[in-house]
Amino acid sequence: RPTDDQLRRRIAAGLGEVRVRSHGLTVDALDDAELLRQHSPLMSPLVWDLAHAGNYEEQWLIRAAQGQEAIRPDIDVLYDAFENPRARRVELPLLSPGEAQEYNARVRRRVLDHLDRAVFDSGAALLDGGFVYGMVIQHEHQHDETMLATHQLRRGDPVLREPAPPAPPPTGGQPAGTEAEEVRIPAGPFTMGVSDEPWAYDNERPAHVVRLPAYHIDTAAVTNARYLEFMADGGYDQARWWSPAGWEWRNRSGKRSPAFWRRDAGQWLRRRLGRVEPVPPDEPVQHVCFYEAEAYARWAGKRLPTEAEWEKAARHDPATGRSRLYPWGDAEPGEHHANLGQRLLRPTPAAAFPAGASPYGVRQLVGDVWEWTATDFAGYPGFRAFPYREYSEVFFGGGYKVLRGGSWASHPVSARASFRNWDLPIRRQIFAGFRCARDAEAA
């Protein structure tokens, strides 16, 4: 376990880093009008996310953890996500971008002043292992990913700088695409979830044993090229590939291709953060909803993995019987492991990152695109809401599907393979794709 001093340094660095990233997506990138505008009814104005992150930090670090007096209790109601649906936030008397920056800085100064005196092993659950600080850092990173989805929906010239040059990702000794397409995971128990991971959320807890029958899972995510085959084969026009709810979505929405795609002179183009480019065949397909993933899988003679199947493929080490923190082991994510953290503003080709493979040889489970699973978001056996019901529990049973693995836009601090994301099965603005699985023949 890290000492209090090491934790303080890690927290201060993490808080600093996430704020730079938030500013890069807001005040450093766009003018006030663009920050206050509603770019899509699905999203908040960017300036809401910015001040919401500061307000969350005030509530959890200044008030709850440090027991200091409130700074702006009067604005809590504006930045309460449950009080204000995303589509209505533009109508609120929000802080201006300048005021939001000033407010966030004021909160941050107080937090850092007090951090020197923070004690992490007093027995207080909120502070244990620096939990509440980790929660606030991860919260802002998650909003940064949400802000990137807003950038993706925004119309207009690109404003986010592409890292130059986009380094070709490592693909291993053999050309991508020649690895086994799927692996067989033998029947047996594995440990799902975590109990001792200090910054894990309540919904990842507790660790518990799950027994699965044998199954096959794809070693890579479904690519644009494969998805185009599904489209060319009339995948969107045949009800037999779709679940009843999926077919209804297909009819109601009129969608016949992933979001942000457009056909031009016989070629498929995609708009990516304001740039229009040919759809790259080798990249994992992105911006498909759960229903599209489900239909593709059935067309391919497969199905989506359950959440447990995904996690076993990602974490279980058959040699030791242990579950790892990441597919490659317990080492923190490095650049050779996964495409994370907004380093590239796009996924890398499927089957890249051999060094990030899991013990079963499954690649890119972490990073690149979130992966839809077949599972409804619910609590694990023994779930206890902590530290507040509105992070996870209020979404249980609400028709949300679990997504796993993080995307190119997710920060490494939330990239542990036990991390759970969720969204409605119709959502396409998130950076989500999928991989397929299937039952194994009885041995």
Binding flag, residue 110, ligand AVJ (CB under 6 A): no
Q: Which residue lies nearer to ligand AVJ by CB, 55 or 421?
A: 421
Q: Which residue lies nearer to ligand AVJ by CB, 268 or 391?
A: 391
Q: What would the x/- binding string for ligand AVJ be over residues 382 to 421, using CB under 6 A?
A: ---------x-----------------------------x
Q: Which residue lies nearer to ligand AVJ by CB, 199 or 353?
A: 199
Q: What are phi and psi of 131, to 5 degrees?
A: -50, -55
CB 53 to ligand AVJ: min, Å? 9
Task: Tokens for 250, please give them.
Answer: 């297909």
Residue 87 labeled ligand binder: yes
Handedness of CA 276, 280, 286, 290 (dihedral sign): positive
Residue 207 labeled ligand binder: no
Q: What would the x/- binding string for ligand AVJ be over residues 314 to 343, using CB under 6 A?
A: ------------------------------
What whole-number distance in Å separates Cα of residue 255 and Cα of residue 249? 9
Query: Before 387, cis peptide (omega within 30)?
Result: yes
Judged by phi (left if over 0) then psi (alpha if -120 to 50, else beta), residue 329 lies in left
Q: Tokens 């107080």 label which residue?
A: 110
Q: Which residue lies nearer to ligand AVJ by CB, 26 or 142?
A: 142
CB 332 to ligand AVJ: min, Å? 21
With a CB cutoff of 8 Å and minimum separation 6, the contacts of 118 are 4, 8, 65, 66, 127, 130, 133
Q: Which residue lies nearer to ligand AVJ by CB, 247 or 395?
A: 395
Q: Which residue lies nearer to ligand AVJ by CB, 62 or 409?
A: 409
Amino acid at 245: A
With a CB cutoff of 8 Å and minimum separation 6, the contacts of 251 are none
Would strands 437-439 and 215-218 be described as parallel, antiparallel, or unpaired?
antiparallel
Binding flag, residue 79, ligand AVJ (CB under 6 A): no
Binding flag, residue 422, ligand AVJ (CB under 6 A): yes
Task: Tokens for 75, please give them.
Answer: 């604005």
Amino acid at 266: G
Subset of 122-151 contacting ligand AVJ (CB under 6 A): 139, 142-143, 146
Residue 298 labeled ligand binder: no
Please identify the residue of the shown chain whose CB is closest to the bound ligand AVJ: 142
What whole-number distance in Å separates Cα of residue 299 and Cα of residue 235? 7
Binding flag, residue 373, ligand AVJ (CB under 6 A): no
CB 340 to ligand AVJ: min, Å? 15
What whole-number distance in Å separates Cα of residue 328 and Cα of residue 443? 28
Q: Which residue lies nearer to ligand AVJ by CB, 358 or 429?
A: 429
Task: Tokens for 440, please give them.
Answer: 């194994």
Angle at Cα 135 formed by Cα 129 and Cα 138, nearest 5°? Answer: 120
Angle at Cα 432 formed by Cα 200 and Cα 231, nearest 5°? Answer: 155
Binding flag, residue 44, ligand AVJ (CB under 6 A): no
Residue 423 labeled ligand binder: yes
Residue 427 labeled ligand binder: yes
Nearest to 115 by CA among 14, 20, 1, 18: 14
Binding site per annotation, positions for Fe cation = 52, 139, 143
Can you say which residues are annotated as belonging to the binding site?
Answer: 52, 86-89, 139, 143, 423, 427
Interacting residues with ligand AVJ (CB under 6 A): 139, 142-143, 146, 391, 421-422
Instruction: Name the binding residues for gamma-L-glutamyl-L-cysteine.
Output: 86-89, 423, 427
